[in-house]
Amino acid sequence: MKKLDSLQVGRAVAVLSVILYHLTGLSVEYQHGCFYAPWTQVLRAGVDVFFVISGVVMVVTTYNKLGQRGIAKRFLIHRVSRIYPPYLFLTALVTIFWIMHPDAVNANSGGVNLFSSYTLWPSAGQLPMVQVGWTLSFEMMFYLAFFCIIVSCTRALLPRALAIWSVAVMTGWTVLALDSSGGLLRTFPRATFLFSPYVLEFVAGCSIGIALFKHRLLGGKASLVAGSSLFVAEAVVLQSINYNWKLNVMQRVLLFAPPAILLIYGLVATEVKSGSLRIPRWIIRCGDMSYSIYLVHLLVIHFAYRYLWWVFSYFRAQVLFMPLAAAIAITASVIFYKLVEIPFSRWTRTGLEQLFRVAHRPSSKPLLAEPDHERTGV
């Protein structure tokens, strides 16, 4: 299957939304909320868009090979080599900074948990040292669950397996929600992670991928309009009621998942029907680099608020802070993408493939023709 530029557009929209959310949101922490407005809460949905895209990508890269020997192993190798090398490189840099300035990392987020930070094992009440890594913990959980599915399922059984997973998640979440005493959480402290409603966004993306292969994508433009309109309507409502409360996971999924699913479905369906999307090349490149941008941008924004804001204040040019901070974050991300993400991920993937080929698969014939590195992504 050809590479889908629509997914790169979705990634670009998602990562730029997250950048703008953090630029506005961190002004509350550093500068009394000078850039914050309630409508910017909608920008958090960039993460939900990423989760939907992940589901699409998992199906697109495996569907035609389900049932073949070695596909699950190759899938997991590619996912691990995609996620961990650039993340661990950046975590190591933050660790050095933390050793030198222990009060400057996660001081307001429960402190530092080195084990969780380096393994992406979920930690209750604590963010990883690279704070956006909390979403990568969910990504790895999605990948491990999908690995189990493709190990045990044929192509025909994939929809049923995804449905069973969804029902299990909703059942588990309901049981936890009804447990007013909290006894289940004390016994199984990671239960809220395993039964997170975020799984439903990933499964929805998988369903879009299956529909793509079955040629059942209709109404792409209408879905695009509906998804975009819903995001706008939510922003207007949040602004009008001056919404400043914290959403729990289920509330967030109920609010952001429908427009995110409609948006990605609409992009994919529109591209499939028209054969291509007429979009600027820079948007595609932004989607290509979205993982690096996602990893790097928050650290740069923190740095900008802490060490560069005074320059803008001195010259009374605070209005320029957001665009220049965003430009610095994207520039740093481009450098990280070229010097760290691409080479480190490829070296890791090659090493793991060679290791497991020697141990388990003498043949050097590739088992899955996966898209180029720039098109895989989170």
Q: Is the pLDDT of residue 332 over 50?
A: yes
C-alpha pair distances (Å), 70 with each of 59, 120, 148, 170, 361: 16, 25, 13, 31, 8
- Given the structure tokens 């990562």, which residue do they identify? 15
On the 0-12 / 13-18 / 19+ scale of CB atoms within 10 A, 20 is middle
Q: Report the C-alpha gap between 195 and 208 in whole angstroms.
A: 22
**Widest distance between CA atoms in the chain:** 66
pLDDT in tens, 71-97: 889 999 999 999 999 999 999 999 999
Asked if 345 contacts 86 with a C-beta cutoff of 8 angstroms, the reply is yes
Rg, the chain, Cα only: 21
pLDDT in tens, 274-317: 887 888 999 999 999 999 999 999 999 999 999 999 999 999 99
Q: Is the pLDDT of residue 268 over 60?
A: yes
Rounded to 5 degrees, φ, ψ at 314 are -60, -40
Q: Outline where DSSP puts E strands in the chain.
A: none
Q: What is the mean pLDDT of residues 117-130?
A: 89
Structure confidence at residue 31 as a pLDDT band (50, 70, 90)? very high
126 contacts: CB under 8 Å, gap ≥ 6? 106, 109, 110, 111, 112, 113, 116
Structure confidence at residue 39 as a pLDDT band (50, 70, 90)? very high
Helix (H, G, I), strand (E, B) or coil at 218: coil
Q: Report the C-alpha gap between 307 and 29 in whole angstroms.
A: 14
Average pLDDT, the chain: 90
Tell me the percentage of the chain whose pLDDT exceeds 90. 74
